[in-house]
């Protein structure tokens, strides 16, 4: 018996290399497609309406899944999004290395939450959603270490909302990490596998 059914075809509505790597490591067959949605506008609207980071992350994940399935009908599309929250502040991906340095200086010595949302979209409707909230505590590293870290990682940190990559040198920044590793990377794998088994996409 095959581990994964031939239909429906599985699509990941994301350009994230980290999310693709999570699904690849789990042996899933899927296609990755970037979703062209205005993330900044959605976040701004969510804030204006007083929505929580959880609701905002779900809105973003759903917008991505819905947009992609319009291009590939008949598939099962997984949309994902992640918002880094420190207190009442939401963080976006840093646009440049100076912003990345500022991000890490703000997060240094603090505990932040990665609100990580998944939404499954099929046949024009949302059929499942899940939110994970890993907690990460950064150590009080020196400015000298920070500069060395950024020099070693380079612009790769700009792909991450927190300006760190746990799949690379990011662990050096932390004292404590609580939560599923794949959720921190942007795709809570255990919950997704359970959903796929429940819907007969994966063998039970």
Active site residues: 81
- Of 125, 27, 132, 141, nearest to 69 by C-alpha is 125
CA gap 63, 52 in Å, rounded = 17
- Of 117, 9, 18, nearest to 63 by C-alpha is 117
- Of 29, 55, 186, nearest to 129 by C-alpha is 55
Q: Give the bridge partners for 150, in sequence order.
A: none
Dihedrals φ, ψ of 107, to 5°?
-80, -20
CA gap 159, 163 in Å, rounded = 7
Q: Give the bridge partners for 10, in sequence order.
A: 76
Strands (E), the chain: 10-13, 31-32, 76-86, 89-91, 111-122, 125-132, 135-138, 174-178
């Amino acid at each position: 018996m095959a581990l994964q059914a031939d239909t429906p075809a599985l699509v990941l509505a994301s350009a994230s290399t980290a999310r693709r790597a999570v699904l690849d490591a789990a042996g899933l067959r899927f296609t990755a497609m970037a979703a062209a949605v205005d993330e900044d506008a959605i976040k701004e609207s969510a804030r204006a309406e007083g929505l929580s980071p959880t609701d905002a992350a779900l809105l973003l994940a759903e917008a991505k899944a819905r947009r992609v399935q319009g291009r590939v009908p008949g598939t099962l599309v997984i949309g994902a999004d992640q918002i880094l929250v420190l207190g009442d502040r939401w963080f976006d991906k840093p646009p440049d290395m100076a912003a990345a340095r500022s991000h890490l200086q703000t997060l240094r010595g603090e505990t932040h939450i990665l609100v990580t949302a998944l939404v499954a979209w099929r046949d024009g409707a949302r059929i499942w959603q899940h939110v994970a909230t890993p907690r990460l505590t950064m150590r009080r590293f020196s400015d000298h270490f920070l500069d060395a870290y950024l020099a070693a990682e380079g612009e790769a940190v700009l792909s991450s909302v927190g300006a760190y990559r746990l799949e690379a040198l990011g662990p050096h920044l932390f004292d404590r990490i609580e939560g599923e590793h794949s959720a921190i990377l942007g795709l809570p794998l255990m919950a997704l596998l359970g959903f796929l088994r429940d819907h007969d996409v994966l063998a039970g």
